[in-house]
Chain A
Amino acid sequence: MSEAVDAFNIMVYRQLKRFVRAKSRLFGSIVNPLIWMVFFGLGWSSLFKGSMAKALFGGYSYLDFLAPGVVMMTVFMGGFISGVTVLWDKEFGFLKELLVAPASRTAGMAGRAFGDALVATIQGALILAAIIPLARDINPGGIPVTLAAALLTGFAFTSLGITIALKISSMEGFHIIVNFIMMPLLFLSGAFFPIDPLPEWMKVLAYLNPLTYSVDLARISMLGSGSMNPLIDTVVLAASSLILIGSAALLFREATID
C-alpha cells in the first residue's frame, strides 16, 4: 500500500518539477486564455450591451459571463494537453521506465493525472487573478469552490488526454486530437455562449460534455448563478473523473512496449 502511495506521490513530484522547469510553457498557457478574454471578450462585449444582452447571458454582462468560462478553458486545455503528452513519454521513452517498474501502474497513472491537475489548477488560478479587474461582478468568496472545481476538471481531462494518448500511437495524431476533440469540447461547454438557445443536437452534445458542468459550477461559484444545480454539476464531474482515470489506468495496466 505504502508503495502505491510512493508511486502516486513521486509522479505528482515529476509533473510539478516539469511544470516549474518549462517556463515558456507556463507563459504560453497563461497568455492564450488572456488573449481570449481581452480580444474575444472585450470585442463581443462592445456589441452585447444593455438589458437585452443581460437577458441573453443570465443577467450578467458578457465579460462577467465569459470569465468563468475562460478560467475553466485554461484548466481544461492545460490538463488535457498535459495528459496527451503521454505521447511524448511514449516517444522519448520515459513510459518504458514506468512500465518495467514493480510499482502499481494504476497508482503511477493516477499520480501523474493528479500532478497535471494541480498544475492546471495553478494556471487557472493565475488566469482568475488576471481577469478579476476585467470582470467586475466576481464574488471573491466563491474562489475556493472555483479552484476545487478546477482541480476536479483538471483531473478529469488529464485522464481523458492520457486515455487518448495511450490509444493512439503516433505523434502526428496530436493535432488531430486538438482539432477534433479539444476544440469541439471547448465550444460545446457553455464557456463562450449559453447552451440553452442552441439547436437540439448541439444541446445534447453539450450535456454529454463534462466540461459543461465545470463551466456551470465555476459560473455559480464566481457569479452566483448558473443554469444547473451545483450538486448535479459536482456529481457529474466527480463521476466523469472516476470513469476517465479508470479507463486511463486500465489501458496503462495492459500497455506493452513497442
Chain B
Amino acid sequence: MDAIVAENLTKRFGELVAVDHVSFKVKQGEIFGFLGPNGAGKTTTISMLITLRKPDEGEAWVAGLSVAKKPAEIRRRIGVVFQDPSVDRELTGWENLWIHGVIYGVPKNSLRRRIRSLMEFVDLWEKKDTPVKHYSGGMVRRLEIARALIHEPEILFLDEPTLGLDPQTRAKIWDYIEDIRRREGTTIFLTTHYMDEAERLCDRVAIIDHGRIVALDTPENLIRRLGGDVVYLHSSSDRLEELASMLSETGLASDYKIIDGKLMLSVRDASKAMPEIFEAARKLGVKISEISYKRPSLGDVFLHYTGRSLRDSEGSWKETARIVVRRRR
C-alpha cells in the first residue's frame, strides 16, 4: 500500500498557483524528499497533506485516508515537524512532550515511558527539566522530532528539518531521521532545499519548481543524468587544450570547457578521475597550479531539469514572499 498518494493537488493564492496539479506516490517505509528552491510550493504541499489547508483542486490520501474527508483520522496517524519552531518556549522539554501526548490521547502510563525513550533517543533526557527557551536551535529541532513521534505516527512530515542549523547538528539530525525509520518503520516525507540532504537521506526525490514536479527519481539517478562531478583545473600551460581533448578521447571526461586558463571537466566520479588527470598532465608536462572539484549542487540539478538557474527563479520566490506578506495584512 502507498503511504501517500497525491493526484493533481492544486492550491492557489490569488493569482499565484503555489501548487500546480502535483501528483506523486510515496511508498510505505520510504524516505521521500521534496526538493526545490524557496517558494517552490513545498510547504504548501505539506500543509495540504497534513490537513491544514484544503486543496483547491485534486485529492490526496494519507495513510489510505482522504485529506478532504478524514482530516481528524489522518492527524492521529501523522507526526509533523514544521519549518519554524512550534514549541512552547516557557515550558520544559518534558512538559512540551507531555502536552503533546495528552492532546493525542496517548494513555498516561505508556506516555511517560514513551517520553523517556524518545528523549533519550534524541539525547535530551538530561535536559528534560530545562525550559525550552534555554535550548539551542539544534536541541529545539531534536525535541520537535521526538515530539512528533510520541503518538507513534505511521508517517512523519519534516519541513526543512535542518534549515539554519550548523553542519554538525545537521549530520546528527540526519542520523536521527535514518534511525527513526529503522526503529519504528515510519514513512518519512521531507522537504529540503539542500541537495546533499536529499542525497544522503532520501530513497526518492521529487524536484519541485513553480508548484510543479519537474523530476522524480532516486538521487543517484537524478545526479547520474547530470553526468557526475565537475573538476576545475588551473594552469598557465598552453597545452591545456591538448590535455582536455586527450582526456575526453579516453572517455574520462564527458565534456570540457576552457575559460581564462581554467579547465572545467565533466567526469563521472571526480575522486577516481583526478589521479588519472594528474597522470595525463604529467605526461604532457602541464603544470597544474590548482585543482578542485564540485559535486553537483541543487543549483546544477535544478538547472538541468528546468533550464533555469536558481538565481533566475529568485524573482518568483520574492513574488511569493510579497504575496504572503500581503495576505498577512
Interface set of A (CB-CB < 8 Å, partner B): 3, 6-7, 9-10, 13-14, 17-18, 21-22, 92-103, 108, 169-170, 256-258
Query: Which single member of B47, B52, B87 contacts A93 (CB below 8 Å)?
Result: B87
Query: With A13-B99, A96-B86 as given contacts, are A18 and B91 in contact (CB-CB < 8 Å)?
Result: yes
CA distance A22 to B105 in the complex (A): 28
Query: With A17-B91, A22-B90, A256-B52 as given contacts, are A92 and B85 in contact (CB-CB < 8 Å)?
Result: yes
Query: Which single member of B47, B99, B147 contacts A257 (CB below 8 Å)?
Result: B47
Find chain B residues with CB under 8 A from A93 CB.
Answer: 82, 84-87
6 A-B interface contacts by CB (under 8 A): A10-B99, A14-B95, A18-B88, A97-B87, A101-B103, A101-B104
Query: Which single member of A3, A13, A97 contacts B100 (CB below 8 Å)?
Result: A97
Query: B27 interface residue, CB < 8 Å from A?
Result: no
Find chain B residues with CB under 8 A from A97 CB.
Answer: 86-87, 100, 147
Contact A21 B86 (CB under 8 A): no
CA distance A13 to B101 in the complex (A): 13
Contact B104 A258 (CB under 8 A): no
CA distance A170 to B80 in the complex (A): 25
CA distance A6 to B88 in the complex (A): 18
Contact A100 B75 (CB under 8 A): yes
Please give the number of chain B residues whose Cβ is less than 8 angstroms from any Cβ of chain A in the complex.
Answer: 33
Find chain B residues with CB under 8 A from A10 CB.
Answer: 98-99, 102-103
A-B pairs, 9 with minimum CB distance:
A93-B86, A102-B75, A10-B102, A102-B76, A96-B86, A101-B103, A97-B86, A103-B103, A18-B90
Find chain A residues with CB under 8 A from B146 CB.
Answer: none
Query: B329 interface residue, CB < 8 Å from A?
Result: yes
CA distance A3 to B76 in the complex (A): 12
Find chain A residues with CB under 8 A from B80 CB.
Answer: 100
B 262-273 to A, binary, CB cutoff 8 A, 1 in contact else 0: 000000000000
Query: B50 interface residue, CB < 8 Å from A?
Result: yes
Q: How far is the CB of B145 from chain A (nearest CB, A)?
A: 13
CA distance A256 to B50 in the complex (A): 11
Query: B214 interface residue, CB < 8 Å from A?
Result: no
Q: How far is the CB of B146 from chain A (nearest CB, A)?
A: 13
CA distance A101 to B89 in the complex (A): 19
**Nearest CB to that of A96 among chain B residues?**
B86
Q: How many A-B pairs with Cβ below 8 Å?
A: 81
Contact A100 B103 (CB under 8 A): no
Find chain A residues with CB under 8 A from B76 CB.
Answer: 102
* Chain A interface main SS type: helix
Contact A14 B99 (CB under 8 A): yes
Query: With A100-B50, A170-B328, A256-B52 as given contacts, are A6 and B102 in contact (CB-CB < 8 Å)?
Result: yes
Contact A169 B329 (CB under 8 A): yes
CA distance A103 to B99 in the complex (A): 12
CA distance A100 to B327 in the complex (A): 21
Find chain A residues with CB under 8 A from B53 CB.
Answer: 256-257
CA distance A92 to B86 in the complex (A): 6
CA distance A100 to B103 in the complex (A): 11
Contact B72 A102 (CB under 8 A): yes
Find chain B residues with CB under 8 A from A9 CB.
Answer: 102
CA distance A17 to B95 in the complex (A): 9
**Nearest CB to that of B84 among chain A residues?**
A93
**Nearest CB to that of A92 among chain B residues?**
B89
Query: B324 interface residue, CB < 8 Å from A?
Result: yes
Query: With A7-B103, A14-B99, A169-B329 as given contacts, are A99 and B52 in contact (CB-CB < 8 Å)?
Result: yes
Query: B227 interface residue, CB < 8 Å from A?
Result: no
B 316-329 to A, binary, CB cutoff 8 A, 1 in contact else 0: 00000000100111
CA distance A155 to B75 in the complex (A): 29
Contact A3 B91 (CB under 8 A): no
Query: B131 interface residue, CB < 8 Å from A?
Result: yes
**Nearest CB to that of A97 among chain B residues?**
B86
Find chain B residues with CB under 8 A from A7 CB.
Answer: 102-103
Query: Which single member of A6, A17, A95, A257 contacts B103 (CB below 8 Å)?
Result: A6
Find chain B residues with CB under 8 A from A21 CB.
Answer: 90-91, 131
Contact A258 B103 (CB under 8 A): no
Q: How far is the CB of B105 from chain A (nearest CB, A)?
A: 5
Find chain A residues with CB under 8 A from B95 CB.
Answer: 14, 17
Q: How far is the CB of A67 from chain B (nearest CB, A)?
A: 32
Find chain A residues with CB under 8 A from B73 CB.
Answer: 102
